[in-house]
């Protein structure tokens, strides 16, 4: 344990470091820099802020949102680590403190109404926690989740939905993507959408929340009203209670999982996997280790397994051939004890596994392993602070635009002052701020080039896979990650920003060498 003198030294150093950073931000050149590029920082903040406060035009950025900015613009974790980013976030001077009304505790009745008081105990023997027989008669099971009968339209294929149902499902789909991307829950979203704490949201309240989410092709108010009418438990009262909204979003999520099937199962938490998904996950991860040992690609693996060169394998043939390779490994393979591991690989249901199906699934295994490695190394902002995404439950201190600009500038000052070269440390504070802008500009250009290459490779087919009509899918609301929103709507964001740092002035003692022939 650190001694008392070490603790005192660390606290004193942190205070002095914070005072130095604040003094650097108050220099006239830095203030002029902030005034010049305030619009640029405003655009970035508006896209990345993740909690609405007041009207939809205002916002609060959680620590996860701030880390997402740092990650997208190449600042995290190479330039600023998690501890420093959290310290800058927690000590930002330009924050506001607001009072928030206390919310009464509620319980959900079987008819959807809510009462204030202690939570009702679930009935014994009910694995699903169903409160009453009436609730059981009013709903049905959909992939293990309890859904009310009037939401049965959400369980249909998109091809079978009417135009109104498809529009409402697209809004719920986009909301589900937004919730997942921000690592929130339906309860979190309902909490900041339900402004009057009534326990249900109206069309106006839901419109405000959807406006804040910044969807592509944002839905009109009449489309949101249609969504509320289809989802609301009572057609007379155009309001949606929490439990009904949660069921609707759950149905959409289950639909997406069913459509993706093997494509996404390896990225799920093990506790949420089905038996078939767990078996496939264990088997394919061991198969991936075989690929690494033999230094093969998935395409080369399929060529070796396809002995008759037919271009397709049955699940049984693929299992037998893969087990032959696994038995050659020096370490034991748990996959050898798994029966029928390839139930999820037959994506089109024809009974055969093609080269593209095997390669696609193994690519998802590679992505899942890479994501797990990031999680183990604690290098990604999504895994850095799980508790930070829950900060909106009792928002008191608002991290707004001014605090965002202050913290970003401090990232550059801390890095160049304490971790840069001696030449960088001697630069003026305004030059260090300009360095930050140049770095963000460079990362933005790299993201734009990568996005253009990806769009050319995919040929725009990704969106058409979700909804039946590709042209109609372009008009339906969709969620895009913040960086993709900037690239699509603000491609000239850094037009006025410098593309390279300013040249350093030559020292006074420097004497240029005379050119040959000039005497």
The rounded distance, in Å, linking the Cα atoms of 364 and 2 is: 45
Residue 57 has pLDDT above 50, yes or no: no
pLDDT attached to residue 194: 85
Q: Which pLDDT belongs to residue 501?
A: 62
Residue 296 in this model has a pLDDT that exceeds 80: yes
- How are beta strands 96-97 and 106-108 bridged, if at all? unpaired
Q: Does the pTM of the predicted model rise above 0.75?
A: no
Q: Is 508 exposed, middle or buried (0-12, 13-18, 19+ CB in 10 A)?
A: exposed
The pLDDT of 217-226, averaged and rounded, is: 92
More confident residue, 184 or 120: 184
Predicted local distance difference test score (pLDDT) of residue 298:
83
What CATH architecture is 106-261? Orthogonal Bundle (1.10)
Band of pLDDT at residue 492, cut at 50, 70 and 90: very high
Provide the 3-class DSSP secondary structure of residue 202. strand
**In b/e form, how buried is each residue of 173-211, taking b as 16+ CB within 10 angstroms?**
bbbbbbbebbbbebebbbbbbbeeeebbbbbebbbbbbb
d(CA 181, CA 175): 10
| pLDDT at residue 311, as a whole number | 81
| Mean pLDDT, residues 97-113 | 48
**Rg for the chain (alpha carbons), in Å?**
28
Alpha-carbon torsion angle 299, 304, 308, 312, nearest 10: -30
pLDDT tens, residue by residue, 147-190: 888 888 888 877 778 889 989 999 999 999 898 888 788 888 88
pLDDT number for residue 196: 81
Q: How does the average pLDDT of the chain come out, rounded?
A: 76
Q: What are phi and psi of 103, to 5 degrees?
A: -105, 135
Positions of CATH 1.10.238 in the chain: 106-261, 265-381
Average pLDDT over residues 465-470: 49
In the chain, what is the straight-line distance between the N-terminal and C-terminal CA atoms, in Å?
69
Q: What is the pLDDT of residues 418-452, one digit of tens each?
A: 888 888 888 999 999 999 999 999 999 999 998 88
Exposed, middle or buried, 28 (CB in 10 Å: 0-12/13-18/19+)?
exposed
CATH top class, domain 265-381? mainly alpha
Give 29's Cβ-side CA count (13 Å radius).
Answer: 9
How many Cβ atoms sit within 10 Å of the Cβ of residue 71?
A: 18
Q: How many CB atoms lie within 10 A of CB 258?
A: 12
Residue 226's pLDDT is 92
Nearest of 94, 80, 48 to residue 405 by alpha carbon: 94
Beta bridge partners of 314: 352
């Amino acid at each position: 344990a650190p001694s008392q003198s070490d603790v005192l030294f660390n606290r004193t150093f942190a205070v002095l470091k914070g005072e130095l950073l604040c003094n650097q931000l108050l220099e006239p050149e830095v203030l002029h820099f902030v005034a010049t590029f305030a619009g640029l920082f405003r655009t970035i903040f508006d896209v990345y802020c993740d909690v609405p406060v007041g009207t939809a035009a205002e916002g609060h950025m959680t620590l996860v949102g701030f880390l997402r900015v740092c990650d997208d613009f190449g600042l995290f974790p190479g330039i600023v680590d998690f501890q420093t980013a959290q310290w800058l976030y927690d000590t930002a001077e330009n924050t506001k403190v607001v009072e928030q009304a206390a919310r009464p505790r509620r319980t959900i009745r079987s008819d959807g109404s809510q009462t204030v008081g202690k939570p009702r105990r679930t009935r014994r023997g009910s694995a699903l926690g169903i409160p009453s027989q009436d609730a059981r008669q009013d709903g049905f099971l959909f992939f293990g989740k309890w859904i009310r009968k009037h939401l049965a339209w959400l369980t249909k294929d998109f091809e079978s939905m009417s135009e109104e149902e498809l529009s409402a499902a697209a809004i719920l789909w986009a909301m589900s993507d937004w919730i997942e991307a921000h690592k929130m829950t339906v309860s979190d979203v309902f909490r900041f959408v339900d402004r009057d704490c009534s326990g249900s949201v109206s069309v106006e309240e839901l419109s405000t929340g959807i406006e804040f989410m910044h969807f592509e092709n944002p839905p009109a108010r009449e489309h949101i009203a249609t969504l509320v009418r289809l989802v609301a438990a009572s057609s007379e009262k155009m309001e949606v209670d929490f439990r009904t909204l949660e069921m609707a979003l759950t149905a959409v999520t289950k639909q997406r999982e069913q459509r993706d099937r093997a494509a996404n199962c390896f990225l799920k938490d093990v506790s949420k996997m089905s038996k078939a998904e767990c078996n496939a996950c264990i088997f394919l991860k061991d198969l991936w280790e075989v690929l690494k040992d033999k230094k093969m690609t998935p395409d080369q693996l399929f060529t070796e397994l396809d002995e008759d060169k037919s271009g397709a394998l049955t699940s049984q043939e693929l299992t037998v051939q893969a087990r032959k390779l696994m038995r050659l490994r020096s370490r034991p393979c748990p996959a050898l004890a798994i029966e029928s591991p390839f139930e999820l690989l037959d994506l089109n249901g024809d009974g055969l596994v093609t080269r593209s199906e095997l390669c696609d699934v193994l690519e998802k295994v590679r992505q899942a392993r890479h994501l797990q490695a990031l999680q183990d190394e604690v290098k990604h902002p999504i895994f850095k602070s799980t508790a930070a995404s829950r900060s909106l439950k009792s928002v008191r201190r608002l991290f707004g635009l001014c605090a965002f600009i202050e913290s970003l500038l401090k990232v550059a000052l801390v890095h160049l002052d304490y971790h840069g070269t001696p030449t960088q440390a001697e630069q003026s504070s305004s030059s260090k701020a300009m360095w930050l802008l140049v770095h963000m500009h460079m990362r933005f250009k790299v993201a734009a080039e990568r996005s253009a290459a990806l769009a050319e490779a995919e040929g725009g087919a990704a969106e058409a896979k979700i909804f039946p009509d590709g042209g109609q899918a372009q008009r339906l609301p969709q969620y895009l990650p913040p960086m993709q929103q900037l690239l699509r709507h603000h491609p000239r964001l850094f037009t006025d920003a410098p593309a390279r740092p300013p040249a350093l002035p030559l020292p006074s003692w420097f004497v240029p060498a005379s050119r040959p022939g000039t005497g």
